[in-house]
Structure 1
Amino acid sequence: MTVLEQRGTYRPAPPPAWQPRTDPAPLLPDAEPYRVLGTGAADRADPGLLRTLHARLVTGRRYNAQATALTRQGRLAVYPSSTGQEACEVAAALVLADRDWLFPSYRDTLAVITRGVDPVQALTLLRGDWHTGYDPYEHRVAPLSTPLATQLPHAVGLAHAARLRGDDVVALAMVGDGGTSEGDFHEALNFAAVQRAPVVFLVQNNGFAISVPLAKQTAAPSLAHKAVGYGMPGRLVDGNDAVAVHEVLSDAVRHARAGGGPVLVEAVTYRLEAHTNADDATRYRGDAEVETWRGHDPVDLLERELTRRGLLDEDARRAVREESEALAADLRARLHEDPVLDPMDLFAHVYAEPTPHLREQRELLRAELAAEAEANADAEAQAAPEGATR
């Protein structure tokens, strides 16, 4: 008889010293994603917050569209659009205090600019540059992380260090459902829970890790249920309901700031565009599925609530559209300017003290560039008409 077959009939007494370390009941997420919009709870939503969320979501949608277009024009190497996930992006940035830190993944450019980073600087890494484009300390935004989940241990380390120093700082780390299958996810959540680090983990569950559906990534009832195994609260929220996401994340940040330890929030959402411009999403999902989610668009959900409460007239719509178009125009103009590059930057920030081999390579390149510049100058001089001056 196997152990499984014995279950229910054979129950050995636990070891004398054993006892549950944590009561799991308070840690369990709700059975259904928490919602505000379209429910009676929407009436208590602050009008100012609704307007702010709406303006940010509309601007974010336009930003996504413009960045995608610039990718097709060759001005960006790649762009992972967050179209359809704007509610998560905006809320994550808005719930943090200036002293807090945001740790984004590669798809979270919109959260980065909502935090205050220059929209063009936020795209520097996606242009193929060697650095992230902005000073992480200026806005307390860590570099965009292309490898899956590697930003999570960084967020935990910063939050734990802040707690040891007595600093009133919370870290909010963003990750996709695919990132929860990485070892860094486990290590980050386990360490954070044991050390009670003030960190909030926001999982944007958009249903696919590129093309791998969630059902092939985990057998858990929800990703929020994973929190229980680490001894932290798990929250499940409708990721397209901007007000609900803002409320749940605000509660999680307060919990972490008050010394309650980490919180795992799963936001159930959907990316309406392909994984990136290099992806053909029609190979793994159908048009009917996408159209179903378009009926739960985060911008439309918020606009319906604003209209119902008389908070969104045509003048307000026009003002938001004009602001969005101004952002898109600025993005186009600045990204069509070719950056001035210094080839010597190839050797910067490789080692604190350059190795002899690296110094040799640097001098060889400098000599080659100087020789090339001299040859070009001679060629121009020979091609110039006799008597012409430069």
Structure 2
Amino acid sequence: MGEPLKVGVVGLGAISRAYLSTFASIPHVEVTALADLDHARAAAAAAEVPGARAVPVAELMAAPDVDLVLNLTIPAAHAEVAAAALAAGKHVYGEKPLALDVAQADKVLADAGGLRIGCAPDTVLGTGTQTARQAIAGGLIGTPVAANAAFVSPGHESWHPDPEFYYRPGGGPLLDMGPYYLSALVHLLGPVRRVVGAASRSRTTRTIGSGPRAGTVFDVEVDTHVAGILVHASGALTTLVTSFDVVASAQPRIEVHGSEGSLSVPDPNSFDGDVRVRRFGGDDWTTLPPSAGYAGAARGAGVADLAVNLAAGRPHRASADLALHVLDVMQTVLAAGRSRTGRDVATTCEVPEPVPLSRLQQ
């Protein structure tokens, strides 16, 4: 495909290590510059990336050897950093969510011009979700009629040393983990046209449980248990629960139920995992072999997919349109919860092209 896409990374927090590790083995992407408000952190990361340098954010934005800005900042900064990158003539790929709200996201998209905007999650491009998608599209469970999806945990403060942003605007279980589940559900069942929602928070404060700030108490500013009913344009209904208030659960992360069977879909926060099916009248669940998706993929696969499809002149799969629709669905669920009514979702999106069984390293 010619020269690799040259990437500058803004934000060298915990998730950056996963991206940089992936890029080290993918020929389509070359990391050239790293920037963080803590320059020492950027310098430490640059020391482990051959050919990369640590620079201030403004210098990274202006650098001629940066084609795409990988935006790994906190959610509150996503739109600002993306706008600066676009203004500098760079493509952008960001962590989720695309922005704090739809209005911010719309502004970012309006400023794109001919530049590409991509957004996590890219986990849906792995063999787990893609094998499930192929099974549904092939009629293995008949006509999809319903799904249930659940992310539940006691919260991130027990393990994360700086968890406050998870409990501030832009955080909460729905905006934090919902993008994984909703992106997978759009790949599996198509866009969402209407929702019903409810939300609550069990506590007004949380306590950091690990790291140098263990014992620090901070305020909870968002709802920490969110439930929604999603009406897909296809007519299928999804029951969605996301929570930072649940100690543990044994239920599957996603199940899709059809007229002829049910499908158990692996964790959408992972790239792979077993896809299991039980057909009507069958005695047990059967595990399907991987049949679609990027095999062996990890965080950063969406950037590599963007690089390959940019060079080929095709749409990339971790698209801004999908991320905008997912953000709109989440905001609409929260608004429906506040108003105690059903609400229509204003946006829609094209479902990205399926991923054939392949490896990005090739």
Task: With the length of structure 1 as denominator, give the TM-score of the two structures.
Answer: 0.27
TM-score (norm 2): 0.29
Bigger Cα Rg = 1
Structure with bigger strand share is 2
The structure with more helix, counted as a fraction of residues: 1
